[in-house]
Every structure is written in structure tokens, then in C-alpha cells.
Structure 1
Amino acid sequence: MRAVDISAVKQPTRRPAPQNDPLRWWRESRFGMFIHWGLYAIPAGVWQGQRVPYIGEWMMFREKIPVATYAALAAQFHPRHFDAAAWVRLAKQAGMRYLVITAKHHDGFAMYRTSVNRYNVVDATPWHHDPMVDLARECRRQGVRLCFYYSQDLDWHHPDGAWNDWDYPAAAKNPARYLREKVKPQLRELLTRYGPVGMIWFDTPLTLTKAQSASIRRFVKKLQPRCLVSGRIGHGLGDYNLPRDNFLPPGRLEGDWETCATLNHTWGFKTHDHEWKSAENLITTLVDLVSKGANYLLNIGPDADGVVPAPSVQRLRAVGAWLERNGDAIYGTSPSPFRNEFSWGRITTKGRRLFLHFFSAPPKIFHLHGLRTRVRTARALGDARRAFATRQTTDAATGLPILAIDFTGLRFRAPVTVVALDLAAAPDVEPQPLQQPDATVTLITGMARLGTDATAPTGRIGGNGLTENWRSTDDWLEWDFTLLRPGAYEVNVVTTHQHLEPWSGGHTLRLTADGQTLRHKTTSDAILPSLRSAYYPQIATSFGRFNFANSGRHTLRLQATRLKLPKKNKTLFSDGGMQFVEIRLTPVS
């Protein structure tokens, strides 16, 4: 795996899905298993006696290991404990509906029998076995949809593959020959030998042209028309969108999305990475993503013997136990009707039903602002006998609808307790940012108007909910929002960055609202506690205070007066512009 930001490319948007839509099964699944397994499981994060700090499957590239040296690892690959039935059964126990296995990763080694060359698990190892045959059989038998990961661009073994310039001079590479001689023949094998394939999960679209990517897509669809193509085929040609690895968006996304994520901090097995995410973290992350319109593709990295680490097994089974009780609030659901997230939890939707996912015990009288639709009943999921009294009113000053639920007798069950609201119609909500019951207001990027003092903005609001290419002081973001309580509010601006690269920081921003102006340089005053902060730190800068004399609608504008841009405009993870997330308004006590 490699974190790649492709959200700047135009992304397809979600449209009403007909019954025969190939994406229907994927949308309803919501939760899938990723499996990274290959020769990199043999060194397992240790090279020449030294533990490496980076993700395990990138060892060949990071250490610039010669092709001949790396290929010799195949002679050691003999997974005595590989059990396809157990792997698929684990996916089922976890509540995962599809499985994506690395058929060929960036090291170029095929984890199945290929006729293209002998650099594959059958011909080059003493195991002489094709694990994809077993996995295809078990997926059919156990009802899990089989999908293949295939690295279509990076291939450090092939002379024409991208990014091996220590064995093969970059100037001599011929990508068209690589596609013709290796990529398409191997895709033909994967799509004709193992039965129906749910998806080819392409990765890292770094050097291929749009025409080349389009050619790959057509090739897949010709062989299996209903096989999905992941967003990392590049150039906006995927059937759905993929943000960067382990990325959690700040609010609801538009269109179809999937976040791929690790159970610890590596994809391929490493002996010394024991920073396992808790089951509670995995469950809340699943809820968070589904509430925002994204599937959760969660990785396991079996060792070279084919054994899935015990902490992975334990945690996945715990997630499955939660889904056994609460799966109706996940599978087949749509995202929250609200664009923003909530401090108390998240919301998912299924027709005329809203599911409130509480991350902690709610107050006895719980309030939700902005739901216009009449609530018929409120019940704890899975306990139809226990109904909770509801009351819907309208705030006299602002006209804001307010729902109150009396949760007397609700038993909170960690880590997430779900309450189902049955509505009189499909949910209808106030579209603009609202003051929440905890009195805060959060202005996320995805709810802003983008404007410019120039002819046209150079920046944009990315499909992933962050700003992209914000490199001009002419551009601005503006929000209308509703306050119920006038008064003084602390103002914090939140920016972020990918954890593998330095934070850009140092931008001077101007905020204006109600005739008031705040100007400040973005400094790292605090890293906000958040699910998002683990890989994309939510960096808060305190800008001071705004005073709002009245309740009702207000407007706030954010504009840069000076941008501190890196000398190198773009990196693998960022376009070099400011990555703005949101503004938080918190009332002064």
C-alpha cells in the first residue's frame, strides 16, 4: 500500500442505482477484508539485521534491494499453515462481506500461477501452490465476494514498471510494453481462471496516462462487465472513489467512497509492529465511515507461514460480535442526512429510519437540532419493546426544529449503542451548519461556498472534504450558519496534513463575521482528540473571539492573506497548498 491523494481528480457522483447496478452489492456490504500477503512477509520488517520504521511491503523500494536479491526470497516461501477456509471464515466472523487479496503487489511477485513469467508463487517457491484457487473456492462456499488487488503501475521487478531506477534506468522504460507484456496478460488470467471477480483493486496511479488507465478499465470490463474497478486506476475512471490510506473525512462525502485502513501501522506483516488498534477503535471507525458514505476496507497481514496474527483475529471477532447485534444500522445503509459529524456519535440512514450511534451514554434528555421530519418512534436497536418518548418543537427565535428524546431506561453498551428513529417520511434536515446542543458550531469545508476575488478560483473543495490546491490569496470560503445563543465564541481554525510529511503551517488567515475581523498565522496550538488525528493530525490554531449580538443566521468568511507554500509544489501526498479542514466556534463560559 501507499497513501496517494487522487481526490483532486474529478470524481464520479452517486446517482440513483437501478436494481442491476454492479455497485449495489458493494454499497450494501459496507465492510470488507483487505489481505496483504507476499514475499515481504519473509523479512517481516527486518533488513540486514535492522528493524525498518516504514510499512513492511515497501522494503524492496526503500532499501533499493536489487531484483536478484529480492527474488531470492521466493526460495524461502513455504506457508505451512495457510488455510483459505480459516481466512474466509474470519472475514465472515468479522461481518465482512467482501475480500481483497494482493494478487500482485509493487514488488511484481504474482501470488498465483501466471504464464507471463516464472516469478510467481507456484513456479518460484518450494510451496508450488496457487492460494487464489483455494480462496476462490472458499469465498464461493462461504458467501464472501472475492476481489483481487493488482498493482498496475508500480512494479519493481519488471524493467518497464514504475519506480525501480536502481536496476533499470528510468530513461529506458517503456510503460506501453509493460502493460502489453505483463499487466493485461495477468489481468486476463485473474479474470478468467477464478470465476466471478467482484473487483480489481488497482493502486497508485502515478505514471500512467489517462489513455493507458482507460485502456486497462476497458480490458477489465470486456472480460467481466460487472467487475468493479477501484478509484486508484486513476484519472477519475474508477467505479468509486478512494482517498488516502487510513483517511477519515471530516464530514459526509458525496458519491461512492471506500477507505482502506490498517489494523496496526503496516500492511504487510512486520514482527515488531504491535500497535494494534482496539476493537472499540475499529467499531467506531466503521460507524464513522459508513455515516459519511464510505466503505471500510480493513487489512490483515498474515505472516510468511500463512498465520493471521492473534491480535488481528481477536479484534475482528469483536467487531463481528458488535455487528451481529447492530448490523441493521450498517449494512445497506446510506450516510447521515446531515453533512457534519456530532460530538456524541454518528447517524446512518435506511429509508425512513435513522440510526443514532452513540459513542458514549447520552444524557437523559437528548437533543438533536435540524431534523424537520416527524418522528414516529424511538427505540433501542434490537429491543422493540422499549420505546422512548420524543418531543419535537421549533425554536421561536430562529425557526430551528429541535427533537428531544427522553432516554430514561436506556442501557448504554460500549463502545457504540444504537437507537433507531422511525420517521413519517424520508429524513429532511436543515442544510446549513447549526449550533449543536453542546453549544458549539463546526464549519466544515464541504459545507462552504468557494469564491475568489480573481476571475476564477485556483483552489477547490476536494471530494474528500479538504481544500485542494489552495495556493492563492484571492480564494475564500464562506459559510452561513445558525446560532441559537448570542454571545462570545472562541474561534479555532483546523488544518491537517498526512502524517508522513511535515505540516505546512505558517499561513496567515483572515476571518470576518458580523463586521469583526480576526487575523492570525496558523500555528500548532493543539492536536485535537479525534479518530482522524491518528494519521491526519487535526491541528487547531486559536484565532481569538467573535461576539455575536443576536441569534439567527450569520455569515463567516475565511481568506488567506499570506500563504507559506513549500518550494516543492507537490509531493506524493499533497499538492502543496493549505489543507484546511474546519472552523470551530465554542461559546465562552
Structure 2
Amino acid sequence: MKNIMLSFCLIVMMMFSLHAQSDVASLDPYADESVAERDARMEWFREARFGMFIHWGVYAVPAGIYKDEKVGKYGEWIMSDGSIPMADYQRFAKEFNPVKYDPEAWVKLAKETGMKYIVITSKHHDGFALFDSKVSEWDIMDASPYGKDLIAPLAEACEKHGIKLGLYYSQAQDWNQGGSARGKDKKGKWDPAQKHDMDDYIKNIAVPQVKEILTQYQPAILWWDTPRGMNKERAEQFLPLLKLAPGIIHNNRLGGDYEGDISTPEQYIPGTGLPGDWESCMTMNKTWGFKSYDHNWKSAETLLQNLVDIASKGGNFLLNVGPTAEGIIPEPSVERLKNIGAWMEKNSESIYGTNASPCRTPEWGRITTRTKGENTTLYLNVFDWTENGTIFIPITNKVESCNLLTDKSKKFETETDDLGTTITLVGEAPDSISTVIVLKLNGTPIVSDADKIKPNEDGIILLPAQKSIINNVIGSHVIYNKEKDCIDQWSNERATLDWDFTVDKAGTYTVFMRIASEEECAIELIVGGQTVQAKLDATNGFKTFKNVNVGEIKIDKAGNYSIHLKPKHKEWKAIILQSVKISPK
């Protein structure tokens, strides 16, 4: 009898499990997707590598200023950052009249830049919809004098010019219609008129609006954002809607532990890329939505090299523009996009459809990869061209050919040995930002350990700042300063650093950090499973560098290792880091 009951219980459990799996599959159209099916669905995205982000809405009217004061970090967050009452903010919609909006010109600009897709904010956190929503009057049709759908003509222009359309939708936050919200006090609301019934908002505003945009525009991408308060039950209400746009790609910001199709690092480039498909989104200046006084524009050189860097790590680049309330993309944005487009017109082969570099990031630039059959093409994007100098890659394959991408008749001499391949540069750099050399190899890349950091003759391992892997997260922007040869102003405690290195023999080693700092702080370093916690003494300011003893580590055997530097939470202060030294006792 016991065996019968046990068998019955097992059957019930199995049926329950199968039913639960069936429920998930019925909600998520990609739950049972095969690898081949996923590859087919993601093919265009992996080929594209480059897209345009557009943050546009009512917030372009105040343009970062409220009651004659500059407000907040980002233009599109002005209502929250300024704790603007709903009635005041909604009056801005009466001034949102983009009579100079030319969607075809926007699409042509994206195409001229070399971008393959556009993602626009159909509704941001303020809840204002750029389309004709039947479930809300807080939209372009009912609340503004413009009175015309802004998404529909953009969708038509995208289809006409062969550009994929993506729609951003803030599913969780809605500061005017009941979604989650964050004021200065972080308690969720700043105006008694704000209702905070998120479940009602999800059911009656967000889900119906997502259904509207998927049905009306059939976007290729659905770009969720800020899953604040999005538990599994709330997130699952959106999943079945994906079936309305077959083949649609959605990101990892829905919430409820759903990973989506793409990871979305914001305002930074992961040091070694990310597993799976991913896309770095970045601004051209400091803001996403238009701010009249933000003139902190990144150079075209920086933006272009960011694109190359991201492609070299297997990701896509989603570069933002923030149009004005009239519907004009700011001229500094246009100028930079056209400069990028001029480079892409000649060198896009090194970006579209390429894969990540087979070896670590070189000092002189970046590498993208294309595999065809048994052979491999490496695109060497040379940022730092040394006249009549050389560049080195730790690839030992036989070289079939080596030439300039923009002029195949211009050949480069190569020499390959057991450590790798050296390419001899000739004359001045053909391109001042990134010169692309095409290196064709016989077979798949064979990577030597030549690019690993090794001990010198005294057994000392020197880890320079230039060879660090910077692991930024959202909100942190720690960078390697090429001119100063250092990790400059490492102030954000969420950013971490890594190096890979080789040890010749076992033993006890002392770790030193060469830093400059104004205040004492604390750090953790992790090597071979060991964690060392240490105080970093101040060095009398950022112009005074000192070697600070961080502690000792034990290496059990010779081999390859990595070191991970992690600021201690709430004990971290800004430092400048030149190098890390691991010295045998």
C-alpha cells in the first residue's frame, strides 16, 4: 500500500511539474526555443552591431530646468528629481508641439551613420505615450497640441529604408498613472495626487499599452526598463503579449527574474564582454533626454572607438540622441553621427557580423573576428599607430594575407613564431581614429600565452593599469587614462579591476598597489580563492604616488592566475592607480 501511495504521489508531483512547465511555456513564447531557433531569431541583431537610441517626450520641454533651476542628472528624470507635482508637469505637454519632427530624416541619419536599428521611447517613466493610446489620455493625441501619432511615421520610415524598429517601454514606472515611482525621499511619491496602485496600473495601463504597440507597429525589439516592483506575477502578465510580434527580441529589464534575450550594460563597456547577446547603451553627452545646458559632448573619436571596442567584445552599441521639444536632433549629435558614418562607409566590414577577439585586448587597439569555413579573418583596428613601428598579436596561425581594409593593394609584412605574429606598420596612419588592417589566417585562431603577464627575472609580477580589465556597472565610469597611464579617479565602489598573470613557482608573495589618494580607504583582493582585506593609507593627495602594502598571498603551485580588486562597501574613497606589484618574499 505504501508503494502504491508513493507511486501515486510521484505521479501527482510529475503532473504538477509538467503542468507548471506548460504554464511557463504558454506564457513565454521562447521557453522551449531550440538553439537553432534562437540563432535564427537573433541573427539580424548579431549582424547589426550598431543602433540608435532615441529618448524623447514631454521632458524635452523643460529641458532640465524647473522654476529657473537646473534639475537632476538626466533630462527625462526631471519630474522625479525635481519632485514636480503632476498638475505642473502635465502642463508641459501643452507646449510639446514637435512641428519640426521629420521621421524620415531621422531614419536617414541613422542609416548614414551605419546604424541598423532604432529604439525609441514609446513611453518613459513619466507615463506620456508618443502613440495614440486608447487606454489613456496622457498621450500625444490627447494631451498635446500636436495631436498626431509620433511612432507610426517613424515605423513607416524604418520599413522604407530597411532599418529595424525597436520600442522602449517603461513597464514598471509611471509617475502620472500609478506605476512605481521614486521621489527625492525614495518613498515612491512626492505629490498627494499620485495614486500608487501598481497592480491596477499594470492591468489597466501597462499591459494594454504594450498590446497596443506590439499590435500596431510590430517592432523587432521591445526594450523594457527599470523593473522596480516587478515581481514574477506582474512580469508574467506581459510575456504572452510577445506572441503578437513573432520573432521579437526583448531585453533583460522586464523583472520577475526573466532574463530576456539581451543583457543591457548602461553607460559602460564590460571589460571582457558578457556571455550571450548583449548591448551597451550610452549617451553622447551626459543626458538621455534633451537638456538645454548639457554641452559635455564626447568626441566622435571616443564614440567610434567605443563602437569598435564593443564589437571586439561581441556586443552591440546603442548610441543615444535626445531630440528637442520641436523635434530636432541637436546639431552636435548630428555632427558626430556623420563623422562616424564617414568611417563606417569605408570600414563597416570590420563591425557588421563580426565576433569577439580571440585574445585579450591589445594595447594598440581592438580586434574583431570573422570566421568563414576553416579560415579566419581578423580585423586589427589600430588606434595607436606608430610610424614604421610594429604591432603584435599572440596568434600563431599561418598568415595568408595582410592588407589595409580600405586599400587591398597596400600590404603589410608579417612575421610569425611560437609566441605570435608581428605586423610591421608603414608610414603615417591612413585613419587618425582607427586604421583597419585585415589579417587572414589559415584555420581557427591559435592563441599563445604571450599576452599573459609573466614574472621578470627576479620573480616580480608587475600589473600595469593599461592591462587591467575594468568591470564597471550601471552608474560607474572608471576609466584607464591613456595620457596619464593610470586608472584615473577610481571613485565608484561598484567598479572592480582584474588582471590575468602567470606565476613561475609556488611561494608567499606580497602585493603592493601604487596609488595616489587624499583619504584612507579599504579594499579587498581575491587571488586563487584567497581574500585579503586591507587599508589603503592616504598619500598626501592625487599628485603623490606611493607603493602601499596590501598584504600577502600564498601561491600553491605555478600556473595561470587572476587577481580581483574590489572596493570595500562604505569604506571606499577615490584613488588613482598606476599599477599592482606582486613580489616574492
Q: Tell me the equivalent position of 2:148.
A: 129
Match of 1:142 in 2: 161
Q: Cα offset for 1:346?
A: 0.7
1:270-419 correspondence to structure 2 within 5 Å: 270-338=291-359, 340-351=360-371, 352-362=376-386, 364-394=388-418, 401-409=419-427, 411-419=429-437
Larger radius of gyration between Structure 1 and Structure 2: 2
Query: Which whole-Å CA distance do the structure 2 matches of 1:115 and 1:412 have between them?
Result: 55
Say which of 437, 440, 451 aligns to 1:422: 440
Q: Is the 8 Å Cα contact of residues 366 and 380 (structure 2) preserved in structure 1?
A: yes
SS of the counterpart of 1:141? Answer: helix
Which deviates more, 247-256 or 142-151? 247-256
Correspondent of 1:180 among 200, 203, 206: 203
Paired residue secondary structure (2:378): strand
Instruction: Give how far 1:508 is off.
Output: 4.3
> Residue 92 of structure 1 aligns to which amino acid in structure 2?
K
Letter in 2 for 1:202: W
Quote the residue 2:109 is aligned against.
90
Aligned equivalents of 1:104, 1:246: Cα separation in 2: 21
Q: 1:405 to 1:565 in 2, by over 3 A?
A: closer
Cα drift, residue 78 of structure 1: 1.2
Q: Is 2:265 the counterpart of 1:265?
A: no
Question: Does residue 99 of structure 2 align to residue 80 of structure 1?
Answer: yes
Structural RMSD (CA): 4.2
Cα gap change, 1:336 to 1:240, in 2 (>3 Å): same
Change (3 A) 1:228 1:510: closer
Query: 2:521 corresponds to which letter in structure 1?
Result: G
CA distance in 1, matches of 2:207, 2:38: 31
2:575 corresponds to 1:566: no
1:291/1:62 Cα in 2 relative to 1: closer, same or farther (>3 Å)?
same
Match status 1:240 vs 2:262: yes
* Separation (CA, whole Å) in 1 of partners of 2:450 and 2:537: 28
Matched residues in 2 for 1:227 and 1:368: separation?
A: 41
TM-score, scaled to structure 1: 0.75
Letter in 1 for 2:71: V
Structure 1: which amino acid aligns with 2:106? Answer: W
Deviation at 1:60, TM superposition (A): 0.4
Q: Which residue does the alignment assign to 1:454?
A: none
Say which SS state the counterpart of residue 51 (structure 2) adopts: strand
Contact map agreement 2:57 2:130 (CA 8 A) in 1? yes
Secondary structure in 2 aligned to 1:385? strand
Q: CA deviation at 1:526?
A: 12
Mapping for residues 445-524 of structure 1, pairs under 5 Å: 480-481=501-502, 492=513, 506-509=521-524, 521-522=535-536
Is residue 215 of structure 1 aligned with residue 215 of structure 2?
no
Q: Determine if contact 1:443/1:584 at 8 Å carries over to the other structure.
A: no
The amino acid of 1:300's aligned partner reads V
> Aligned-pair distance for 1:255?
1.6
Q: Distance in 2 between matches of 1:526 and 1:24?
A: 54
Whole-Å Cα distance in 1 between the matches of residues 143 and 519 of structure 2?
46
Pick aligned residue for 1:69 from 81, 85, 88: 88
What secondary structure is seen at the aligned counterpart in 2 of 1:22?
A: helix
Instruction: Name the SS for the 2:110 alignment partner.
Output: helix
CA distance in 2: counterparts of 1:238 and 1:168, whole angstroms: 35
Once the 2 structures are TM-superposed, how far is the Cα of residue 131 of structure 1 from its aligned partner?
Answer: 1.2
1:202 pairs with 2:206 = no
1:23, distance to aligned residue in structure 2 (A): 1.3
Equivalent in 119, 125, 136 of residue 138 of structure 2: 119
Instruction: Say if 1:559 and 1:313 are closer, same or farther in 2 by CA, change over 3 A.
Output: closer
Which amino acid letter does the alignment assign opposite residue 100 of structure 2? H
Instruction: Report the alpha carbon displacement of residue 168 of structure 1 after superposing the two structures with TM.
Output: 5.3
> Identity of aligned pairs, percent?
34
Paired with 2:534 and 2:510, the residues of 1 have a C-alpha distance of 16
How far apart, CA to CA, are the structure 1 residues paired with 2:220 and 2:546?
44
Partner in structure 2 of residue 158 of structure 1 = 177
SS in 1 for 2:40: coil
Aligned-residue offset at 1:19: 8.4
SS at match of 1:325: helix
- Paired residues for 1:37-76 under 5 Å: 37-76=56-95
Check 1:301–1:215 CA distance in 2 against 1; reply closer, same or farther (3 A cut).
same
Report the secondary structure of 1:384's partner residue: strand
- Local SS of the residue matching 2:137: coil
CA distance 1:425–1:523, shift in 2 (3 Å):
farther
List per-residue Cα deviations over 1:484-506 (Å, max 9, x = no partner).
xxxx99954899xxxxxxx9982
Q: CA contact under 8 A between 1:250 and 1:341: conserved in structure 2? A: no
Cα distance between partner residues in 2 of 1:289 and 1:311: 23
Amino acid at match of 1:177: D
**1:457 aligned residue:** none
**Cα 1:20–1:294 shift into 2, 3 Å:** closer
Number of aligned residues: 501
Secondary structure in structure 1 of the residue aligned to 2:73:
coil
- Matched-pair contact (CA < 8 Å) for 1:432–1:481: no
CA-to-partner distance for each residue in 1:370-427, whole Å, 9 max, x for gaps? 2132221111112111221211112xxxxxx221112234643111111111010122
Displacement of 1:432 in angstroms is 9.0
Q: Using the TM superposition, give the Cα deviation of residue 240 of structure 1 relative to its aligned residue in structure 2, in angstroms.
A: 0.8
Which amino acid in 2 is paired with 1:421? L
Distance in 2 (alpha carbons) for counterparts of 1:142 and 1:525: 58
**Contact 2:379 / 2:436 at 8 angstroms: preserved in 1?**
yes
Q: What amino acid maps onto 1:185 in structure 2?
A: P
Contact kept in structure 2, 1:231 and 1:242, CA below 8 Å: yes
Is 1:31 aligned with 2:50? yes
> Which is worse superposed, 63-72 or 113-122?
63-72
Amino acid at match of 2:232: K
Shift of 1:507: 1.9
Unaligned runs of 5+ in 1: 1-11, 395-400, 447-465, 471-475, 496-502, 529-539, 547-551, 568-575
* Distance of 1:523 and 1:252 partners within structure 2: 33
Q: Report the CA distance shift for 1:246/1:541 in structure 2 as closer, same or farther (over 3 A).
A: farther
Distance in structure 2 (CA, Å) of the matches to 1:199 and 1:577: 40
What amino acid maps onto 1:391 in structure 2? Answer: E
Q: One-letter code of the match for 1:412?
A: P
**AA in 1 matched with 2:137:** R
Instruction: Indicate the SS of the match to 2:115.
Output: coil
Q: 1:432 to 1:57 in 2, by over 3 A?
A: farther
- Determine helix, strand or coil for the equivalent of 2:348: helix
